[in-house]
Amino acid sequence: MQQNLKDTAQALLEAQYIAIISHKNPDGDTLGSQLALGRALQQSGKDVVLYNRDKVAEKFYFIAGADTVVQYTDEMILPDTVVFVDCTEPQLAGFHLTDAVLAGKTIINIDHHASNKRYGTYNYVVSTAGANCQNIYHVLAAMGLPVTSDIATALYVGLSTDTGNFMYDNVSSETLRIAAELKDLGADTDSLRLKLYESCSKKKITLMKYILNNLHISDDGQYAWSSISHQMMTDLQPESTDIDGLINTIKDIEGVEIAILFRGVEEKRTKASLRSKVWADVNQIAGMFGGGGHVRASGVSIDGDVEYAAALLGPAVEEIIRQHDAAECQ
């Protein structure tokens, strides 16, 4: 198993038939990674297919190649080289990728999640990168492939969307330097602003009203949570993009350190999205219940309805806040 950038770049340079797979419910970073890498490899003469389980949201169509992502079905045959971008593990792709399906393939794992399982033949995992597109940028440079304006836009989308538009503490000076270079290379930041930040869907507004109506804040004001019932999910049928970022509405409340949004994805299955602001490690909290992600943003899936999930996670969160307050007082 080899870890470094040079080996990852070399493996890609030597490959001819390549599939690039993004995680289910693709966000700007996994999609930006997939489209930037895919386009650069195609332009260097390789045969590349882009797979995702889900349809790409329309708001991402301004990124060149977004309409070329194919919805994967289990009957499809994977080429010899399979690249996973922004995926902690192959299962995150959301389709049936068993060991048998992947046997004999060269697996390339390019990711920035601390909880990445290092499942690749080649792993380029840098968890300090604010966005995986930052890692893709380095892979392209290591391969010596040019960054066209289309590729710059794709990479910039990942950098922007995974960092709260360059606001969160996962932004490093390097993130900003790369963003500046991408802007110089022609990244279309106007389309990004209009399509991703100034086009809130009506369903998202409906959900915002709903979660504010269901908002709970702990007595000390440090833990805020809300939920979207399975019934509401069924009635409204939101896209994943209608849900993305909703949690910020409750995280951004003054004094809140940990925010959780519970949503009933099935009658007895709840997805919890966790966020923190300053000190809390929500990767660790999600890990206690079998989930994971980043220090400031993580997720976990719970068997049970939203009330059950809230009752399960709530005491753990409050205990962590209590311990932190106690340590502060000493």
Least CB distance to Mn ion at residue 132 (A): 5
Least CB distance to Mn ion at residue 28 (A): 8
Q: Is 286 left (phi over 0), alpha (psi -120 to 50) or beta?
A: alpha
In the complex, residue closest to Mn ion by CB: 29
Dump strand ranges (E) for the chain: 17-22, 47-52, 70-71, 81-85, 106-111, 122-125, 216-217, 223-228, 258-266, 269-276, 292-293, 297-303
Least CB distance to Mn ion at residue 61 (A): 20
Sheet containing 17-22: order of strands: 70-71, 47-52, 17-22, 81-85, 106-111, 122-125
Nearer to Mn ion, 81 or 132 (CB): 132
Least CB distance to Mn ion at residue 15 (A): 23
Least CB distance to Mn ion at residue 116 (A): 11
- Sites of contact with Mn ion (CB under 5 A): 29, 86, 132, 162
Nearer to Mn ion, 33 or 106 (CB): 33
Nearer to Mn ion, 136 or 232 (CB): 136
Q: What is the dihedral of CA 302, 307, 312, 315, to 10 degrees?
A: 150
Nearer to Mn ion, 29 or 257 (CB): 29
- Which is it for the CA torsion 142, 169, 211, 88, positive or negative? positive
- The Cα–Cα gap between 305 and 107 comes to 36
Nearer to Mn ion, 281 or 318 (CB): 281
